[in-house]
């Protein structure tokens, strides 16, 4: 059971009641709003039971994941795998003790490794993930789960069959405490009637990697190949498209994507600049844009309601209230930042550091931990908990009653919030359909059945 | 006088959990198992083995205090066995206070203990980690209890048969063994299963556990040394 499951059923009244603790804290002299269900305790040096993790795919993103895994006290990076030797060697230098191989089958055959993180190119996920599940490993699979909806469905269905194992989709925002803190603002109706959502991802980068030989160059630039690339909306937009759907607790009925090669005219046929209009129930629409040509304003989302707007930028967020909006009670005392002609009330989870309230300079700084850190922490911890629960259960009852074990795993295991196979599948469907719309140049209707795993 | 062979056979069968299955032939007896008033037992040996099964309502709960509020942890997994010998009363008739033939070993996997709120809903994964660390989970994954002696003290009710007993045994927590004595109640249900319940007061420091004092958002929490262990163990004939 997730610690934050209760957050799924929010209404305005409960939300206001829940924020009274924060209000009290602010009246006592503090000015920041902090996540009410902040982590209860930080132990100084927990002699933690560590999970041996294997990382498959050591490209740029794989190495970012490695950086975060090495920071996690609960994880031991025990295996590294990449089919390209220089990449494998590069990461092996960072973790000399880890078992290194170019063949993922060899890594999966290593019984010491109980969990694997799959960060290969999207179109290579299926084969590896299915083999990993079959080998009894817990699996963290990057998103999109696959480059086709059919493959994504096969992956998600296989994950659901392996109930003794954790399957986590790499939708890292779903594990981010800041997002869990912000979700009730959207869900509770604190913003009034929702009018629209805007989201963007801007970064000046070519998406092209150079390589000493043409074969490797083709392999490493899979994002620029129309056959296997899921485009900007698939590879990058999936996180924000999913976050909006998650916050609104709804899946869209239509997506209309637009794409152009605005700047990187190097012979590619995958758009470097895209927009998408995504229709949610009750006339609510997300306007999304992403470009590889300019980095101004980077990444962010803005939720517009009739009473207030919430702007999310990385681990920071602000609320901008309308003059005629009712008071929520705490915001008078909260910290405010000026943005051109508007004043935003700071909304930050602040990761349990109530003590930071007295220190404005510290309070201004961004949280040190990116969402992917929390996602991997959830994966490693949940893997450990599920492995222990299976072992404990079978030490009493043996393996004769799988349904009783399944029930124990659903009730007796305390999981940190993370995207599961169904979440990963739905997000993949939306992102792939959005990209398909860009490629086709016309809107695509999304039937509710499309989001169901039959 | 039992021959060595018979002893060996009996041990082997007990290990396999076969010796106590109702309506089965025992090693020495050629046929009948006697169905006494409540329990079916193997006649000649007179020992019946019981163990937990999935879906039972077993629970162990540890309650403690701290400078901010009381705390509690729970596990639904109580493993092990209990064997009732020939002189264990199968009903309230013929039950007399005194020492009983009972063998038992009980364990709780440390990682299955979770912090809960008063109402039993989940409390905190961070607190779970602190508790597991204090119980030295990685080195001592189980809390183990080995019964040395059990005495019948009192018949609580006739139908269903329920007795108060006093248990003397060794409790191993975080690798430290202490002999403890506590009262418990054993109820024999009409369908032959047993419920064993009780409460045991303990001190963390007796098991060389320094009461946790985690640093949290609002400062330092200090937990009290005294804890109470409550257990409810449901076991079924094997």
Q: What is the pLDDT of residues A262-318, one digit of tens each?
A: 999 999 999 999 999 999 999 999 999 999 999 999 999 999 999 999 999 988 899
Alpha carbon of A141: minimum distance to chain B alpha carbons (Å): 24
Dihedral angle sign, alpha carbons of residues A43, A47, A50, A55: positive
Distance CA B198, CA B51 (A): 17
Residues 6+ apart with CB under 8 A from A195: A284, A304, A305, A306
A222 touches A403 (CB < 8 A): no
Local structure of A40: helix, strand or coil: coil
Check CB contact of A43 with chain B, cutoff 8 Å: yes
Confidence of residue B18 (pLDDT cuts 50, 70, 90): very low
Of B79, B130, B218, the CB nearest to A43: B130
Per CB-CB distance under 8 Å, the chain A contacts of B55 are: 404
The number of domains in chain B is 1
- Pick from B116, B142, B217 the residue to mutate for testing the A interface (most A CBs within 10 Å): B217
Check CB contact of A42 with chain B, cutoff 8 Å: yes
Which residue(s) pair with A294 in the sheet? Answer: none
pLDDT, residue B91, reads 77
pLDDT, residue A6, reads 43
Average pLDDT over residues B2-24: 42
CA-nearest of A145, A135, A138, A147 to A108 is A135
Q: Which residue of B has its CA nearest to A399?
A: B54
Alpha carbon of B3: minimum distance to chain A alpha carbons (Å): 33
Check CB contact of A414 with chain B, cutoff 8 Å: yes
- The phi, psi pair for B234, rounded to 5°, reads -105, 125
Q: Which residue has the tokens 């021959």?
A: B3
Query: Where do runs of H (alpha helix) occur along A162-275?
Result: 177-187, 214-220, 231-235, 237-248
DSSP annotation of A311: E
The reply to whether residue A40 touches residue B123, judged by beta carbons under 8 angstroms, is yes
Q: Is residue B232 part of a domain?
A: yes
Query: Taking 90 as the threshold, does the pLDDT of residue B90 lie above it?
Result: no
Which residue has better confidence, B206 or B219? Answer: B206
The reply to whether residue B54 touches residue A404, judged by beta carbons under 8 angstroms, is yes
Q: Which residue of B has its CA nearest to A355?
A: B217
Is the preceding omega at residue A144 within 30 degrees of 0, hence cis? yes
Q: Is residue B34 part of a domain?
A: no
Per CB-CB distance under 8 Å, the chain B contacts of A391 are: 109, 111
Q: Which two tokens stand for residue A282?
A: 């009750």
Q: Interhelix angle for A125-134 vs A149-161, to 10°?
A: 10
Distance CA A85, CA A89 (A): 6
Q: Would strands B142-157 and B98-100 be described as parallel, antiparallel, or unpaired?
A: antiparallel
Distance CA B109, CA B123 (A): 19
Total residues found in chain A within this entry: 454
Domain boundaries, chain A: 5-39+175-364, 51-174+371-420
Q: Is residue B23 part of a domain?
A: no
Per CB-CB distance under 8 Å, the chain A contacts of B214 are: 41-43
The reply to whether residue A41 touches residue B221, judged by beta carbons under 8 angstroms, is yes
pLDDT, residue A17, reads 54
The reply to whether residue B122 touches residue A414, judged by beta carbons under 8 angstroms, is yes
What is the pTM for the complete model shown? 0.85
Residues 6+ apart with CB under 8 A from A108: A54, A116, A131, A132, A135, A137
Q: Is residue B12 part of a domain?
A: no
pLDDT, residue A24, reads 42
The reply to whether residue A42 touches residue B215, judged by beta carbons under 8 angstroms, is yes
Which residue(s) pair with B152 in the sheet? Answer: B98, B165
Q: Which residue of B has its CA nearest to A405?
A: B54
Q: How far apart are the first and last CA of chain A?
A: 24
Local structure of B89: helix, strand or coil: coil
Q: Which residue of B has its CA nearest to A396?
A: B79
Q: Which residue of B has its CA nearest to A387?
A: B111
In the sheet where A167-169 sits, what is the strand order?
A99-101, A75-81, A51-56, A115-118, A138-141, A167-169
The reply to whether residue B133 touches residue A46, judged by beta carbons under 8 angstroms, is yes
Distance CA A286, CA B71 (A): 45
- CATH class (in words) of the domain with range A51-174+371-420: alpha beta
**In this structure, how many other beta carbons lie within 10 angstroms of the beta carbon of residue B17?**
12
The reply to whether residue B122 touches residue A404, judged by beta carbons under 8 angstroms, is no
- Pick from B16, B51, B52, B54 the residue to mutate for testing the A interface (most A CBs within 10 Å): B54
The reply to whether residue A46 touches residue B129, judged by beta carbons under 8 angstroms, is yes
Dihedral angle sign, alpha carbons of residues A189, A190, A191, A192: positive
The reply to whether residue A389 touches residue B221, judged by beta carbons under 8 angstroms, is no
A286 touches A302 (CB < 8 A): no
Q: Is residue B42 part of a domain?
A: no
Which residues span the domain enclosing B226? 53-237
The reply to whether residue A43 touches residue B221, judged by beta carbons under 8 angstroms, is no
pLDDT, residue A346, reads 87
The reply to whether residue A414 touches residue B125, judged by beta carbons under 8 angstroms, is yes
Check CB contact of A48 with chain B, cutoff 8 Å: yes
Q: Which residue of B has its CA nearest to A49?
A: B138
The reply to whether residue B218 touches residue A354, judged by beta carbons under 8 angstroms, is yes
B148: left (phi over 0), alpha (psi -120 to 50) or beta: alpha
Give the CATH number for residue B201. Answer: 2.40.128.110
DSSP annotation of B215: E
The reply to whether residue A354 touches residue B217, judged by beta carbons under 8 angstroms, is yes
Q: Would strands A115-118 and A138-141 be described as parallel, antiparallel, or unpaired?
A: parallel
pLDDT, residue A16, reads 55
Distance CA B147, CA B120 (A): 29
Query: Taking 60 as the threshold, does the pLDDT of residue B24 lie above it?
Result: no
pLDDT, residue B216, reads 66
| Segment of A76-85, B4-13, B96-105 carrying the highest mean pLDDT | A76-85
Local structure of A451: helix, strand or coil: helix
Q: Which residue of B has its CA nearest to A416?
A: B125
Check CB contact of A339 with chain B, cutoff 8 Å: no
DSSP A344-398: EEEE--GGG-GGGGG-HHHHHSPPSS-HHHHHHHHHHHHHHHHHHHHHHHHHHHT
**How buried is A201 (Cβ within 10 angstroms: 0-12 exposed, 13-18 middle, 19+ buried)?**
buried
Query: Taking 70 as the threshold, does the pLDDT of residue B7 lie above it?
Result: no
Query: Taking 60 as the threshold, does the pLDDT of residue B31 lie above it?
Result: no
The reply to whether residue A404 touches residue B55, judged by beta carbons under 8 angstroms, is yes
Alpha carbon of B169: minimum distance to chain A alpha carbons (Å): 21
Q: Which residue has the tokens 């010796």?
A: B19
pLDDT digits (tens, 9 = 90+) for A72-124: 999 999 999 999 999 999 999 999 999 999 999 999 999 999 999 999 999 99
A251 touches A448 (CB < 8 A): yes
A437's enclosing H/E stretch is: helix A421-440
Average pLDDT over residues B47-53: 94
Q: Is residue B88 part of a domain?
A: yes
Of B78, B112, B214, the CB nearest to A41: B214
pLDDT, residue B8, reads 43
Q: Which two tokens stand for residue B198?
A: 């009780």
Q: Which residue of B has its CA nearest to A352?
A: B217
The reply to whether residue B77 touches residue A396, judged by beta carbons under 8 angstroms, is yes
Q: Which residue of A has its CA nearest to B108?
A: A392
Q: Which fold has domain A5-39+175-364?
A: Dihydrodipicolinate Reductase; domain 2 (3.30.360)
Residues 6+ apart with CB under 8 A from A72: A373, A376, A377, A380
Residue ranges in chain A whose pLDDT is less than 70: 1-47, 349-368
Check CB contact of A394 with chain B, cutoff 8 Å: no
A303's enclosing H/E stretch is: strand A299-305
CA-nearest of A138, A205, A223 to A421 is A138
Average pLDDT over residues B152-175: 93
Distance CA A162, CA A277 (A): 36
The reply to whether residue A39 touches residue B126, judged by beta carbons under 8 angstroms, is yes
**How buried is B16 (Cβ within 10 angstroms: 0-12 exposed, 13-18 middle, 19+ buried)?**
exposed
CA-nearest of A175, A123, A116 to A144 is A123
């Amino acid at each position: 059971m997730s610690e934050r499951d209760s957050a799924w059923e929010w209404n305005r009244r409960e939300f206001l009641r829940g924020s009274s603790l924060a209000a009290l804290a602010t009246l006592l002299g503090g000015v920041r709003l902090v996540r009410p269900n902040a982590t209860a305790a930080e132990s100084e040096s927990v002699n933690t039971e560590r999970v041996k993790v294997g990382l498959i795919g050591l490209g740029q993103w794989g190495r970012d994941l490695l950086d975060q895994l090495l920071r996690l006290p609960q994880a031991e990076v025990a295996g590294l795998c990449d089919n390209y030797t220089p990449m494998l060697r590069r990461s092996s230098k960072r973790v000399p003790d880890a078992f290194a191989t170019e063949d993922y089958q060899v890594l999966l055959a290593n019984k010491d490794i109980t969990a694997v993180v799959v960060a290969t190119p999207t179109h290579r996920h299926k084969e590896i993930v299915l083999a990993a599940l079959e080998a009894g490993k817990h699996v963290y699979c990057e998103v999109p789960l696959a480059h086709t909806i059919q493959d994504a469905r096969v992956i998600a269905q296989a994950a659901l069959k392996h109930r003794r194992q954790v399957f986590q989709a790499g939708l890292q925002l779903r594990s981010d405490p800041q997002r869990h803190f912000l979700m009730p603002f959207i869900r509770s109706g604190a913003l009034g009637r929702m009018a629209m959502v805007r989201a963007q991802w801007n970064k000046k980068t070519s998406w092209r990697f150079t390589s000493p030989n043409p074969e490797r160059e083709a392999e490493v630039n899979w994002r620029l190949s129309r056959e296997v690339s899921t485009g900007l909306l698939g590879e990058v937009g999936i996180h924000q498209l999913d976050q909006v759907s998650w916050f609104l607790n709804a899946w869209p009925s239509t997506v209309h994507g637009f794409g152009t090669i605005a700047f990187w005219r190097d012979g590619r046929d995958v758009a470097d600049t895209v927009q998408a209009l995504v229709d949610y129930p009750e006339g609510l629409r997300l306007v999304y844009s992403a470009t590889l040509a300019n980095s101004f304003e980077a990444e962010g989302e803005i939720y517009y309601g009739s009473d207030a707007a919430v702007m999310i930028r990385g681990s920071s967020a602000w609320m901008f209230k309308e003059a005629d909006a009712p008071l929520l009670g705490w915001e008078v005392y909260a910290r405010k930042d000026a943005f051109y002609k508007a004043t935003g009330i700071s909304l930050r989870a602040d990761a349990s550091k109530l003590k930071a309230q007295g220190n404005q300079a510290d309070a201004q700084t961004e949280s040190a931990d990116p969402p992917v850190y929390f996602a991997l922490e959830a994966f490693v911890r949940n893997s450990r908990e599920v492995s222990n629960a299976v072992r404990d259960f079978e030490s009493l009852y043996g393996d004769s009653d799988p349904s009783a074990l399944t029930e124990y795993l659903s009730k007796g295991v305390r999981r940190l919030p993370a995207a599961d196979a169904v979440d990963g599948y739905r997000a993949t469907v939306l992102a792939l359909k959005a990209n398909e719309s860009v490629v086709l140049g016309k809107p695509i209707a999304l039937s509710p059945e499309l989001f169901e795993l039959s | 006088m039992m021959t060595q062979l018979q002893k060996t056979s009996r041990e082997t069968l007990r290990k396999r959990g076969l010796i106590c299955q109702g309506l089965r032939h025992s090693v020495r007896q050629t046929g009948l198992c006697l169905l006494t008033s409540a329990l079916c037992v193997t006649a000649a040996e007179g020992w019946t083995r019981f163990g937990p099964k999935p879906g039972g309502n077993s629970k162990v709960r540890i309650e403690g205090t701290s400078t901010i509020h009381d705390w509690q942890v729970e596990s639904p997994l109580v493993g092990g066995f209990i064997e009732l010998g020939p002189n264990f009363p199968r009903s309230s008739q013929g039950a007399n206070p005194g020492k009983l033939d009972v063998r038992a070993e009980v364990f709780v996997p440390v990682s299955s203990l979770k912090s809960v709120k008063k109402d039993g809903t989940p409390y905190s994964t961070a607190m779970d980690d602190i508790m597991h660390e204090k119980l030295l989970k990685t080195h001592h994954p189980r809390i183990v209890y080995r019964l040395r002696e059990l005495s019948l003290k009192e018949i609580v009710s006739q139908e269903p048969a329920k007795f108060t007993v006093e248990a003397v045994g060794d409790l191993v927590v975080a690798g430290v063994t202490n002999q403890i004595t506590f009262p418990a109640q054993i109820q024999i249900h009409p369908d032959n299963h047993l419920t064993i319940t009780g409460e045991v007061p303990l001190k963390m420091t007796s098991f060389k556990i320094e009461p946790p004092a985690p640093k949290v958002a609002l400062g330092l929490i200090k937990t009290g040394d005294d804890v109470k262990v409550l257990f409810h163990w449901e076991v079924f004939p094997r």
